[in-house]
Structure 1
């Protein structure tokens, strides 16, 4: 099986931003899924050394309604966006991403894993 990696553009809002421009900038994020590493987990890498790993199911459910697991919360934002909220000792970051990009990523993960797409 092959790993799936996809890049998307996101808006990041963080409580540690230095300026309003930092909060509103669009940045690349990397979405990664490796079924050999753990078929239940997805990885989201934000700019800098910030990687979050959480259940693929959380991302899928978060496209339909608000869900929370540990330090990660995901919810739809209107009809075309989704928000991922990450909590750490350094603060909170909100990442707003196009829902289509997340859905395309999820479909690719299910194709690689050989499981049916649930969404």
Structure 2
């Protein structure tokens, strides 16, 4: 039986205006996909009016709290003594959000309790993954 971790966080959207808008976001971790963290923003918080979710590695999130990490669509870096910046790069532009580092550490601690770093391979369902890749049962 698999348990999924979901944790609500308050993200602060960095905009060109001096005031940062606070918006809800949800961090999601499923041991069936043990390398991945999902961060979702609800429809009212997005320009498109639909939920937007980004998936990135748990390792990237952990590394980015202590130093700049990432070179692709998702980049993470510390900001001040108590915040972490997540940058989401898309063709439409870049969204930057600040999240309290303590909230991210708590989330990653819960994920670590469930799936220790280095043991992710034990939680992979390779048969299911191959079946999906090949389009049928193995």
Q: Deviations over 1:23-66 (max 9, x none)?
A: 62111110000011x10000001232210000000000001100
Shift of 1:13: 2.2
The answer to whether the Cα contact below 8 Å between 1:14 and 1:92 also exists between their aligned partners in 2 is no
**How far, CA to CA, are the matches of 2:13 and 2:52 in structure 1?**
12
The answer to whether the Cα contact below 8 Å between 1:58 and 1:69 also exists between their aligned partners in 2 is no
- Give 5+ residue unaligned stretches, structure 2: 44-50, 119-138
> Structure 2 residue aligned with 1:26, among 22, 25, 35?
22
Higher helix share: 2
- Give 5+ residue unaligned stretches, structure 1: none
Q: Deviations over 1:71-103 (max 9, x none)?
A: 010000011000000011121100100000000
TM-score by length of 2: 0.74
Look up the match of 2:134: none
Are 2:8 and 1:10 equivalent residues in the alignment? no
User: How many pairs were matched up?
Assistant: 110
Moved beyond 4 Å, runs of 4+: none
Change (3 A) 1:41 1:8: same
> Structure 2 residue aligned with 1:59, among 52, 58, 61?
61
**How far, CA to CA, are the matches of 2:26 and 2:75 in structure 1?**
18
How big is the alpha-carbon RMSD for the aligned residues of Structure 1 and Structure 2? 1.9
Shift of 1:14: 5.0
Higher strand share: 1
Q: How does 1:22-101 map to 2 (within 5 A)?
A: 24-36=20-32, 38-48=33-43, 49-101=51-103
Rg bigger for which structure? 2
